[in-house]
Amino acid sequence: ENSELRDAKNGGIVEQPTYTELAGAQGWYITKFSIERDPSLAIYTGYQGLKNRQKLAETFKRPTNWKTYCTYVSTNNCSIPDGVANRAPLEDGSEDGRYFIEGSYTGHFRATDKNNCTKNEKCTGHFVDYPCGWSSFFKAQSHHLGIALESDGNDGVSGGYTYSEMVQIWSAANATKSDVVGL
C-alpha cells in the first residue's frame, strides 16, 4: 500500500475495501434427514467407489414431475387425491413439469432403470445439478472421485435443472422426507 492510498483512507476520502457479499460459493448439499439416516453421506468418501454405487442408486431416486407422476405412477391418473397429488395438473400444461406445488403436489421420487443395479451395471443415484448456463463442477468431480451420481434435468448439455425446478425438488424432498443431494 502506498502512502497516498494510506493518507486517503486515513483522511476519509477512500473507504477500506470490504466483502460485498456478491461472491458465491459452490458446494454439494444434502438433506439433513439423509445424513441422519446414513452418516457416511456427510463426507465424499461415503459416495466413492464401486462399494457405494448400489447405496447411491438406492438412496437418491429421481424426482418425478407432476405430469409424469399422474401418467405413470398414480393408479388413477390423479383423478382422486392420493396423498401425493390432490388433482391432475392444469389442462393448459402450465403445471406439467412442476416438481412441487404446495397443497396440490407434494412431489415424488422414484427408482428408474438408471437406479437398478441388477439391470444396469452403470447404475447411478440422482444429483440435482445446475443448468448449463451456470458454472458447475459436478460432472468432473463425480467422474474423478468415482462417485456414481448423475443429473437428469431437461438441460440437454448438463442434465441440470432450472433454478425454479431446483427449488421445487428441494421443497418436494423436504415435504416427502426423500433423500436428495445436489448443488
pLDDT at position 134: 75
Rounded Cα–Cα distance for residues 65 and 96 (Å): 7
* pLDDT the model gives residue 140: 83
What phi and psi values does residue 115 have, to the nearest 5 degrees?
A: -90, -10
What does the alpha-carbon distance between residue 18 and residue 41 come to, in Å, rounded to a whole number?
A: 36
Q: pLDDT value at position 47? A: 93
CB under 8 A, 24+ apart: contacts of 13-20: none
pLDDT digits (tens, 9 = 90+) for 80-100: 999 999 999 999 999 999 999
**Residue linked to cell 443431494:** 181
Q: Confirm if 92 and 125 have CB atoms less than 8 A apart.
A: no
- Whole-number pLDDT of residue 63: 97
Type of residue found at 91: E
Per-residue pLDDT 10s for the chain (183 aa) are: 567 667 767 776 655 655 555 555 677 889 999 999 999 999 889 999 999 999 999 999 999 999 999 999 999 999 999 999 999 999 999 999 999 999 999 999 999 999 999 999 999 999 998 877 777 788 888 899 999 999 998 887 778 899 999 999 999 999 999 999 998
**Residue 5 and residue 14 in contact, taking contact as beta carbons nearer than 8 Å:** yes
pLDDT value, residue 6: 75
- Which triple of cell numbers denotes residue 10? 486515513
